[in-house]
Chain A
């Protein structure tokens, strides 16, 4: 497998050096692996901190900036960051109004953020946490680590980020974040397995004529494997899986997300099919975002995330945002 890297050990640091060079509006601490918006801490504003394993770019560092995250801490590839990074990020963005940790529900992320929250509170920083768990492919959470956090992370970070930017207090930012998570569901499919830099070969074997349904974002196999389907058939399957669980009674936000190696040509085509299915099911779509946002290195495939919104959430979604990977309205 050919990769555009120097050595596996430095891929994260190398990427952060590149981010620093391309985005002078961010403060990138390459050594400690913390990316902070340049003007932090913003007086009176709740700080929003997220992080997780690297390999999901632009999540999370690509979402740092006005209107979204205050800081992000990237871990090793597919490995959660360590508490030291999170505490450093919290300290850098706390203006006294408190800090919200946005955590994807994966065991490592949850444990490290919990430890970080305790350490940050020891330093006098008020910390709240919201755990994102939107993946309907994990159905029986009694016998698993619970639903994974995937595409809804972007919705939570954008909408809670907008609330924080408006000066909402910590408890309000927390309740907005929880509402978005509670109203969002996702389902993902893989057309190819992922190759991590450290391993250098695909982490699971997916034959050419098959696809994997219900995958997460770490190259872990999904809940079932089938012969390859058309874009329309995949949209039927994925959207129905989401709707079966979400049962929206009003308009939704839709994220049609690429896993990293699927071109926009295919993603837009898939988005058309997602719109067709939602139309057939009588679900109005208020906004659609199409692109590679919550990725899994070089995995081919896509995921659908739907969030049932009300007027307030839609207003916050439309609010200006200015980050490396998401920007509008400014």
Chain B
């Protein structure tokens, strides 16, 4: 079972991963966006890790809703509302349970991902974070590791796509051949989840 402490460690692991990969994310974003995805998420998840540590919310749902609110308040751009909505809606869907299992998390995460699609008006194949999140949400029903692998594969599969949403969409065909920075950072979030589970000895 996964308790509030597990979710705090997930957020801390995401902050560490975003920190490590910030330059890479910005490099990907400079090809088809405006070169700030890494620094924006770094600012956001650093703030998230700090606030969930300080406020120590008592339930998994409360950790994620707080994290989501914090992202919306600190990131800006499109990633702030989109990542904020992902975590906030996942947290809300988890409700007030003190502990949740992977199945319950998978269902809640799918709701969060659906909310992201609704907010951004994007679908699978538009070359956005959804291309990593949708397969991850599905695979999370089976295993943490599977979700991480699906997210990474989904991010890689954005390379040949033409962007239809976000700033990269203005490039038209010139967006083809570049991996989407949003899908790449989304894969980091799901990989951090799998690492947290593996470190805590939770099922694969």
Contact = CB atoms under 8 A, between A and B. Distances in A.
B34 interface: yes
B36 A77 contact: yes
- Interface hub of A78, A84, A140 (most chain B Cβ within 10 A): A78
A223 B172 contact: yes
A45 interface: no
Contact of B82 (A111, A138, A204, A221): A111
Contacts of A81: 76
A145 B167 contact: yes
B77 interface: yes
B78 A111 contact: yes
Contacts of B35: 78, 196, 198-199, 203, 219
B171 interface: yes
Q: How large is the interface on B (under 10, 10 to 19, 20 to 34, 35 or more residues)?
A: 20 to 34
B76 A75 contact: yes
A82 interface: yes
Contact of A107 (B40, B166, B171, B172): B166
A148 B170 contact: yes
User: From DSSP, what is the main secondary structure of chain A's interface residues?
Assistant: loop
Nearest to A215: B170
A75 B76 CA distance: 7
B102 interface: no
B34 A219 contact: yes
A83 B169 contact: no
A111 B81 contact: yes
A203 B36 CA distance: 11
B80 interface: yes
A136 B168 CA distance: 17
B200 interface: no
Interface string B83-94: 000000000000
Contact of A83 (B33, B73, B166): B73
B76 A80 contact: yes
Contact of A198 (B39, B76, B162, B172): B39
B165 interface: yes
A108 interface: yes
Interface string B108-138: 0000000000011000000000000000000
B76 A79 contact: yes
B30 A107 contact: no
A198 B73 contact: no
Contacts of B120: 107, 111
B167 A220 contact: yes
A106 interface: yes
A285 B19 CA distance: 53
Nearest to A85: B76
B167 A199 contact: no
B164 A108 contact: no
A230 interface: no
A249 interface: no
B26 A145 contact: no
B30 A203 contact: yes
A143 interface: yes
Interface string A178-221: 00000000000000000010110001100000000000101111
B76 A112 contact: yes
Interface in B3-38: 26, 30, 33-36
A220 B36 CA distance: 12
A82 B75 contact: yes
B72 interface: yes
Contacts of B77: 53, 75-76, 79-80, 108, 112
Interface in B44-99: 72-82
B164 A143 contact: yes
30 contacts: A53-B77, A75-B76, A75-B77, A76-B77, A78-B36, A79-B36, A79-B40, A82-B75, A83-B72, A107-B78, A107-B165, A108-B77, A108-B79, A111-B80, A111-B119, A112-B76, A140-B172, A143-B162, A144-B170, A145-B167, A145-B170, A148-B170, A196-B36, A198-B39, A203-B34, A203-B35, A218-B167, A219-B34, A220-B170, A220-B171
Given A203-B30, A203-B35, 14 more contacts: A53-B76, A75-B77, A76-B39, A78-B36, A80-B76, A80-B77, A82-B76, A112-B81, A115-B81, A144-B170, A145-B165, A199-B35, A219-B34, A221-B174
The list of the 7 closest CB pairs from A to B, nearest first, reads A144-B169, A108-B77, A111-B81, A108-B78, A107-B78, A79-B77, A79-B76
